[in-house]
Structure 1
Amino acid sequence: MTYHAHTLTPLGEMILASDGQALTGAWFTGQAHFPKQEELGHRIEVSDCEVLTDAQAQLLEYFAGKRTTFELPLAPDGTDFQLAVWAALREIPYGYTTTYGAISKIVGPGAPAQAVGQAVGRNKVSIFIPCHRVVASDGKLTGYAGGLERKEFLLALEEPSAEVEGRLF
């Protein structure tokens, strides 16, 4: 069974979803690729599910600048290719950015950067799987399901830990 709860962040309301064992989704309300109501499962209070309680606490610590990594079981549903891309995203350290092309090389030979971009855009666990850390090959901010303003905010939040601006991992 899937559960979801609403939580407020400095960037607006987010919906956190869990199967009771792992975090299965984290979306900004109304963002691109927002799931249908029936996909979200039953609405509960954050405090009714330990995974959601932990996710909310860690998310608030992240926004307060007190957390640079997340320690939660994650179980987003996706294709094998999407799961490979999302696993690569989890390896991008806090304060760093990388490109779609660099991720395509990690995922496997012949993985087109455009396909990587589509998988990044379909990330179901925003922030926890840091798709906001992926930029265009020229360093410009492109595509973020939650909106470019949010992507810019998240990168600025993480910037103080970066020794060299715009560095790639």
Structure 2
Amino acid sequence: MTTESTVTCHTVIDSPYGPLTLVADAEGALCGLYMAGQRHRPAEEDFGPRDDTPAAFFEAEEQLTAYFGGRLTSFTVELALRGTPFQRSVWEQLTRIPYGETRTYGELADALGSPGASRAVGLANGRNPVGIIVPCHRVIGSDGSLTGYGGGLDRKRRLLDFERGTALF
């Protein structure tokens, strides 16, 4: 996972959740995956021109297709995540949550060595620029409830149900 790069282009692919906008940086790494209507979604002009050819898009689309088909449980697409050092540390922790499992904001804060930072973890989680691939949907409230998700709680529920094998697309 690399950090801090410049957006150069984007593409849009279909998914069981509707269109997903994939954004690549100048080196061809994926730096964004956004759902339609997603909270904290950057403005369209920030995605650069549409270009369906970068290798990052082929790899990401192939892996997402396998994920939605139930054939992939972790992603290996190269990422270039832009954010503060704390945000990037939270996003790195998200990638360590196993498929089909959940963690609470407090558990993530503990894993980061900052047990009192669950609110800050929640804010960083909400700013995750690469949804699904960096699985922020796997984070739940301390009481087990589904809490905020930039893509909407219905999508979060559907993703968790899918990963637990209780729903299929």
TM-score (norm 2): 0.90
Quote the offset at 1:110 in angstroms.
Answer: 5.0
Aligned partner of 1:3 in structure 2 is 9
Q: Alpha carbon RMSD of aligned pairs, Å?
A: 1.3
Paired with 1:64 and 1:105, the residues of 2 have a C-alpha distance of 33
Aligned equivalent of 1:69, options 74, 88, 93: 74
1:81-100 to structure 2, matched below 5 A, reads 81-100=86-105
Calculate percent identity across the aligned residue pairs. Answer: 45
Secondary structure in 2 aligned to 1:160?
coil
- From 54, 59, 64, the counterpart of 2:64: 59
Q: Which runs of 5+ in 1 are unaligned?
A: 162-169
Letter of the 1:56 partner, please give it. E
Q: Which amino acid aligns with 1:40?
A: F
Residue 105 of structure 1: aligned partner: 110
SS at match of 1:2: strand
Per-residue CA deviation, residues 70-121 of structure 1 (Å, 9 max, x unaligned), is 1111111000010000000000010110000000111222552111000000
- The aligned amino acid for 2:110 is K
User: Quick one: distance in 1 between partners of 2:115 and 2:105?
Assistant: 13
Aligned to 1:126: 131
SS in 1 for 2:165: helix
Tell me how far apart the structure 2 counterparts of residues 56 and 160 of structure 1 sit (CA, whole Å). Answer: 22
Would you say how many aligned residue pairs link Structure 1 and Structure 2?
Answer: 159
Question: Partners of 1:107 and 1:41 in 2: how far apart?
Answer: 34
| Cα distance in 2, alignment partners of residues 32 and 6 from structure 1 | 18
**Deviating runs (4+, > 2 A) in structure 1?**
108-111
Is 1:42 aligned to 2:27, yes or no? no
Match of 2:153 in 1: 148
Quick one: structure 1 residues 111 and 82, their matched pair in 2 at CA, closer, same or farther if it must change by over 3 Å?
farther
The gaps in structure 2 that reach 5 residues or longer are 1-6
- Find the counterpart in structure 1 of residue 3 from structure 2: none
Find the aligned partners of 1:104 and 1:16 in 2 and give their Cα distance. 28
> Normalising by structure 1, what TM-score?
0.90
Equivalent position of 2:33 in the other structure:
26
Cα distance per residue 1:42-87 (max 9 Å; x no partner)? 1112xx1111011011111111111101111111100001000000
